[in-house]
Structure 1
């Protein structure tokens, strides 16, 4: 009964007192009944579904019987009439009016636009539309209340059947006000719940239409494991299925525990109405993870109930602190009486992509200022501070310090001495301990501060000022540690290798501080630098999976960065290597005196960087210099993030740095950190964490390769920032992985002794082929991890599996995948593909397709003329060389946009919005031209395009009827009908960009 007690506790903690009594008896009954059921055998999918429905009933959901799409639409219409009875003045919507409602709510909107309509904005209220009534009057209709969860109707239905090309029957659908908002797919206990994920994707692609396009969230469960994830227009990634937890980060994995916390109407409503973020540049909706939700709630509660206190959030690097901070800031502007909420970041953490993300998440203010201005112009910040229309401001701490320190602004900003101002401060582990923070505190005397940090300052890593994060911010409000993030698969663990490069008589020299030895000279000797650079060049392809990923190399000084750059340059020339290597750093202010002397003896790091940038310009066709350092920085950031194995000429493979890019830089394409310097505490973990962003299965962990013996510093830092236990953080040793590899090879040989034996499995049924796929997939997974170790060599496994055999098995794996795809008949037949997560990405490089090109276009750097030109030329080269049929069909559209629109855009323009407007205009022009050329009424074509969007086909009967009314004879109607069908299919395909 321990499990029953646990479920009860979770449930009671998640409900109000009024709901507790009526549900206790039900849960006791259900728990006992569940034990009996389990004693009789496994719980069937049907029983799991029935019990899940009962649990939803117990926490406030009414079951409604809806069998098909028509009943769903009729039910929504009934509830819509009831909700808007006063506005309708007793006259329900007519058929024509309701068709206008559906067109207004769904029409040609994509899923992203529908999600925005549901939630509304600060300007447009939640869930409201306006239609024209039959009497030509305007009618406002409300279909969702995002403010008060109780002002909505919560229902559940199951086994809704949708008939399209395939017959799809959905397990459980949660309705809010008659709209399908959450779709749940269940599998019996013991079945991998990834099967439910694949089934949902198939349903979404095959039959989600009309009101089902309102689905915001998916939940998948096999009873024991449960995940949730957001709906979207593009490809959904199983890496972004999230666990739900309690406030202490404990998994609520079992469907009972999950339901009693996540599906309580108040919580579900908050997830829909409050805890989503819209990424406008990428046209996608992001759903927040549980620790982000709890941290946001902790901040808002503190501000509401204890405004005299500050607080900090300890969320590990890579866990999405910025999204949490944004959402907290948004809620504080709406739910407190603060005059201003100011989100402060450190300029050194602000790369180009981060700035674009900030501006993508938040709309422009009423004063038309960008949410975040990357310039040094303090006037724009002062203008926002003075404006009543800008309750939420985003700025760098440096710019804020200038604003309050400058004599010309002091009088203007004096009003803020006593007004309530709330600061949210990113990267609080560094930027908030200096004089700038003191100046801000002294100016904004009635202020509250909430800090975010992945690496707090404790007594162990305390700085010279003697202050810890807790003394600065009063108390910790929520924590989510690196061990939690690795457990939840939100970030990767680390593979750390230490490569000895200097040996004394008896031991390896650990660092530069060894008494009696001039270790600095030894560590910086040309022979050692060449040795380290040679090792990196020989192993780089292996550790980055043939340059599918890239690397940062951190060194001790700008002088060392330039020395290493020259060593690499010489080695590349000697070996004819095509590795792309560059460096970036800031130069010291005191070098200006040396520059003035213009003496060769006083060569500065800036002179050296200018030489590097000259090489860079020659390599990439750019025109940067140290006078345009921010543009050079932005271009490097972009190339590091957009690294693609199929476009090697545009990539940076290794970036040499001192401190830059070691904090605040997030790129899934960065997999490796080379280290030739001393690192410790927060600096070490921040640097390591550049490599551990989730990408796909071919990136199993972050590679850390150290040419200094910093094992103690590594162990100490991991222990400190993991709450005392670093067991989750560092991946298994080489020997542990070698043992696993051996075991997986033995299992593969049991299924197919030789690659040739796999051919026989094709004749023995799907199950046998599935056994091979799973066995070889396990071999792939371990090989993908062990390959980065210096100790790994195929010679060591020659007796078990040769490299040649491995390649032959790979070919058989591809063939098995293709065979099973061909056998997948769709419809109601359960496909074996739903059972298998094929990891083809372990075998293939990135594909240049429509989605990839669209992401490149949306991230064009408009702030620099050189970068804009370079980005545009890069994309046009890809379009010219496109071999993807879908991409080729759109290449002229995208190329015209690059030529005609991009050059005219200002630096603060939203490329995504401009592209959407351009495509909409081009689409309408092509429709108009087709209409005029074929003398077909425009409304007929528009209507058929809408039908095709909804149903995946044109309506032949409707076309014939409309053409008859237009006066065409029978022969003309047949010809024109074919033309319309062909044009509609081509147009829908040509302008579909997701």
Structure 2
């Protein structure tokens, strides 16, 4: 990206990049809009609908526009708008009296669409906004881009994001059409437009293109044909935990899914003969959605394809079907089907004279049992000799295989490939390909001879992108672990976990049999389990509870029950639950007793129903807080709140990688790492546990806590380099004075400010893990940077969702630095805006305080005023002056003396206005109206009279809680304001056009200001 130093320069850079890629720039004053309250470009939209749908009459076109425009603001309306954008608007044609969908966008021929970019576009609704950049396709605004000055300290892309969230509320009529928001500063981020979702719950992404930086990569995302592809195939509504949200593809999902689609299409066109590929994306990076994106694009591009999702476990089948496919709005009449019986699979394959049933199907690989398909396979072979369209001959069959590395894909996958011999096969794995090829490396079945991966997304990539967090491990107490002989025996075996009974045949075949009884004696020992449970309970209460949740991985189902009993002795019983499979009649008495108890407690006749409720409660409710498992949930389970795993089961290889990856999902921006506490000792032999993989492939998979400690020390040293060591002062005032100077220096150095904030925010997360390992001097240094950060945030940045969570998630910081932080927080709030004028005058007359410190104090106070009082009418009336002096201060354009004199003058104006407000007896809303009237030319006496009359006329409406979000009340308030203002403006000679602007200004002020 070129070097840009101001917001307007960055805005122009983005527009130029879009124009070079095929967008047409039109100045906002030249857009064919009816008015600022109407977001659509009607002339363009009507013309394009007519062009794309020649069978439609002008009345049909008008009806389509009316239906689009008539969608509501909420989730339902937004869902319908996206459906219309993808599939057209359903209308009944006047001439033929038949139903049809009128296309809004031509996806097949992208060049036929009209791509318009405009800037500084004003819209009105509940308030007035001005969009930095809007992208229109055929007259419909689809992308909203907000830009912040990359040289302005204290400002980041997040401010642009929050501005879009405010715009969503201010003008919902615009944002029911917009699908993608973009926030740009020194970097760019994109996110779904979901006005009903709180800012902290919105998923935010960064687009990446090889060789390009963040901003240029994002511009590339909006290349016209790519935007259409992204909108049509990579944007979906989803029901998530009972609420509507919108899913956008991440860059690696888009890349991998498109590679799959391109390979299938190239083969069907005869361009290449490759019919398979392997995708390795690290656990937690969105592999399931990648499969769905690829499947849905193929579903719409191919004519009646047959697409199979193949998994190897019932729980994964249910997760894929019930928690993903059925929760996504895939399109009109798209109904994926669950193949729950072998007979159902046989019917799918034999459908329509063995051509096969078109559609999307989810099936477990176990249903491809060779013994069940002997007759069908014979019939398929016979039919395929004479019918080129039999399912055995069809090339538009696509098989998407999840977790293809596991043993059961051997024989069963071969059977599947015999039945579907010309299908396209794409396998997905969350772990890398082993370098050795023992019994179970079945990757070769899914990769062409000259290609290992079709696409890969490494562990470190995922961590750096923020889609997963790091996994740290630390040993449990040494005397709890497996003895050396047992650990060696397990690590040298061919198995990646303790084998269960059904694997005995395989054991004998490889000529090595583990003595499982020796492991059971140790890992199911009740005395040991009790000691481990006591340790877990203490660690959980001190480090996890109230912030995150945890999982105990036990060695067997019996051990699960024993752990539950033991945990109940040290924690409230509702804290923990067991999640495992049950037999109809258990042989182990302890398991049978627990099964009956579980069914009685949940009032169910099938323990599976209880287990499903437990899993849902873990995700959505306070309790349970700890899940005890042995096999279930170690693959495919996604719960971002899960942060700590207490591992008491021997695992290695891909099973170990999959298990520990349960804790690697980010959570609310406060989770820097997932933690594994190892009671078995497997992490003491990490190299042997993962010896089947190339070291390069596992880079970043797990970190020793000591490595986290080393990172903490490096980051802390860098922060001390930036702010300097803590001064040796005896008085609190001297310390605060030093902090103010440091804060002022940071505010005027963009790069140092960014480095300081980013490093500290990571540092405080790491501190929660390694605090006990720090030396006294390091703790003192950490307290120092925490004090500076607190003061800086309170004065120059303001609150954010992450800061509001600090007391809960950074408890160790609060405990260690508590008293000092309270002093700093108090000082941050102790600024001229919170004290009386007499104190202010004494402060500026003081000879004990230097001009530099006076200037710094007054300017920091103005910064705080701007942060916390933006809707205060006093601030609004002086905002230009305040922003101008703060800009001069941050950019070092004036001397300390000049800044001091100007800041002093502004503060005196602030106090003068405050005094006037007090004398008039106005609350903030009333005073805002009064100042607005004066700014439009009303005399003081006339402004006073009109303010009182106007506020009396609307008081009953604006005192209703939430009135500004109620369209009917807003409309009535506007009517009453307009009635008074138009009459009064005529009396004082204000033109009608200017009077209308005054009406909007008053309405916006009343909406945005609290009365007191």
Q: Secondary structure at 1:696's aligned position in 2?
A: coil
Preserved contact between residue 405 and residue 429 of structure 2 (Cα < 8 Å): yes
Aligned twin of 2:903: none
Quote the residue 1:903 is aligned against.
none
Residues 498-540 of structure 1: CA deviation (Å, up to 9, x unaligned) = 224239999999656699x988755655443333222111101
Cα offset for 1:139?
A: 9.8
Aligned to 2:699: 726
Q: Deviations over 1:391-414 (max 9, x none)?
A: 322222257426992689779987
Equivalent-residue separation in structure 2 for 1:158 and 1:364 (angstroms) = 33
RMSD: 5.1
- The correspondence for 2:465, drawn from 460, 481, 488, is 488
Q: Deviations over 1:212-257 (max 9, x none)?
A: 43111122222x42222221132244873222223xxx47324345
Give the aligned length.
774
1:56 and 1:579 mapped to 2: Cα distance? Answer: 56
1:807 aligns with 2:823: no
Which structure 2 residues correspond to residues 34-433 of structure 1 after superposition, within 5 A?
34=2, 38=3, 43-67=5-29, 70=34, 73=38, 76-85=41-50, 103-110=66-73, 112-113=75-76, 116-120=79-83, 126-130=87-91, 142-164=103-125, 166-191=127-152, 192-222=155-185, 224-233=186-195, 234-237=197-200, 240-246=203-209, 250=210, 252-259=212-219, 261-280=220-239, 282-306=243-267, 308=273, 309-336=275-302, 339-350=305-316, 354=320, 355-361=322-328, 371-373=336-338, 376=341, 378-379=343-344, 382=347, 386=351, 391-398=358-365, 400-401=367-368, 405=372, 416-420=391-395, 421-430=397-406, 433=409
Q: Are 2:434 and 1:450 aligned?
A: no
Q: Decide whether the 8 Å contact of 1:118 with 1:126 is kept in 2.
A: no
Aligned to 2:656: 684
What is the rounded CA distance, in whole Å, between the counterparts of 2:767 and 2:817 in structure 1?
14
Instruction: Tell me how far apart the structure 1 counterparts of residues 345 and 730 of structure 2 sit (CA, whole Å).
Output: 69
The aligned counterpart of 2:869 is 823
* 1:739 CA displacement: 6.4
CA–CA separation in structure 2 for the residues paired with 1:803 and 1:84: 60
Structure of larger gyration radius: 2
CA gap of 1:758–1:412, structure 2 versus 1, over 3 A, is farther
2:712–2:763 CA contact under 8 A, matched in 1: yes
Corresponding residue of 2:502: none
**For structure 1, which segment, 673-682 or 379-388, has the greater mean C-alpha deviation from structure 2 after superposition?**
379-388
CA offsets, 1:635-663, max 9 Å, x none?
2221222243xxxxxx1222222221100
Of 802-811 and 320-329, the range deviating more from structure 2? 802-811
CA 1:507/1:464 → structure 2, altered by over 3 Å: closer, same or farther? closer
Aligned residue in 2 for 1:788: 769
Q: Structure 2 CA distance, aligned partners of 1:343 and 1:514?
A: 33
C-alpha contact 1:449 1:473 (8 A) present in aligned 2: no
Residue deviations 1:546-596 (CA, integer Å, cap 9, x gap) = 243221111322343333334334x33xxx6456223233368xxx9xx6x
Q: CA deviation at 1:683?
A: 0.9
Answer yes or no: is the 8 Å Cα contact 2:142–2:180 preserved in 1: yes
Report if aligned partners of 2:599, 2:607 keep a CA contact under 8 Å in 1.
no
Secondary structure of 2:560's counterpart equals helix
Q: Tell me, what secondary structure is at the counterpart of 2:191?
A: strand
Question: What are the ranges of 5 or more consecutive residues in structure 1 without an aligned counterpart?
Answer: 1-6, 8-33, 596-602, 645-650, 836-944, 962-988, 990-994
Q: 1:336-391: per-residue Cα shift (whole Å, max 9, x none)?
A: 3564111222334427554232211255995x9x6343855854883697379963
* Mapping of residues 441-520 of structure 1, within 5 Å: 441-460=417-436, 462-465=437-440, 467-469=442-444, 475=451, 476-502=453-479
Does the 8 A contact of 2:645 with 2:663 survive in 1? yes
Change (3 A) 1:86 1:316: closer
Q: Distance in 1 between matches of 2:347 and 2:685?
A: 44
> Contact 1:384/1:393 (CA < 8 Å) preserved in 2?
no
* Cα 1:472–1:561 shift into 2, 3 Å: farther
CA distance in 1, matches of 2:710, 2:364: 48
Quickly say closer, same or farther: Cα 1:406–1:777, change in 2 above 3 A: closer
Residue by residue over 1:893-923, the C-alpha shift from the partner in whole angstroms, topping out at 9 and shown as x without a partner, is: xxxxxxxxxxxxxxxxxxxxxxxxxxxxxxx
Q: State the partner residue of 1:984.
A: none
338-347 or 195-204, which deviates more: 195-204
Farther-moved stretch of structure 1 (107-116 vs 298-307): 107-116
Alignment correspondent of 1:953: 971
Is 1:653 the equivalent of 2:625?
yes
- 1:323 Cα deviation from its structure 2 partner: 1.1
Provide closer, same or farther for how the CA distance between residues 448 and 529 of structure 1 changes in structure 2, counting only shifts above 3 A.
same
Distance 2:400 2:98 in 1: 46
Equivalent residues of 1:679, 1:713 under 8 A apart: no
The answer for the alignment partner of 2:957 in structure 1 is none
Q: Distance in 2 between matches of 1:89 and 1:566?
A: 72
When residues 160 and 748 of structure 1 are mapped into structure 2, their CA distance, relative to the original with a 3 A threshold, is: farther
Tell me, what secondary structure is at the counterpart of 1:283?
Answer: strand
Matched, 1:604 2:587: yes
The answer on whether the counterparts of 1:127 and 1:146 sit within 8 Å (CA) in structure 2 is: no
Residues 956 and 169 (structure 1), Cα distance of their counterparts in 2 relative to 1, 3 Å cut: closer
Tell me, in whole angstroms, the C-alpha distance in 1 between the residues paired with 2:423 and 2:53: 47
Q: Retained in 2: the 8 A contact 1:164–1:206? A: no
Q: In the alignment, which of 634, 655, 661 is matched to residue 662 of structure 1? A: 634
Q: What SS does the aligned partner of 1:806 have?
A: helix
Q: Secondary structure at the match of 2:647?
A: strand
Going from structure 1 to structure 2, the CA distance change for 1:755 and 1:90 (only over 3 Å counts) comes to: farther
Q: Distance in 2 between matches of 1:127 and 1:181?
A: 15
Q: Deviations over 1:173-197 (max 9, x none)?
A: 1111111111112223345533443
Gapped runs of 5+ residues in structure 2? 384-389, 493-514, 784-812, 830-863, 887-962, 980-1006, 1008-1012
Distance 1:485 1:549 in 2: 21
Which range is displaced more, 810-819 or 628-637? 810-819
Deviation of 1:268 (Å): 1.7
Q: Which residue of 1 aligns with 2:542?
A: 542
After superposing the two structures, state which structure 1 stretch, 519-528 or 673-682, moved more: 519-528
Measure, in 2, the Cα distance between the counterparts of 1:581 and 1:390.
45
SS at match of 1:311: strand
With CA pairs under 8 Å and 6+ residues apart, which has the higher RCO, 1 or 2?
Answer: 1
Q: What is the distance in 1 between the residues matched to 2:977 and 2:869?
A: 36
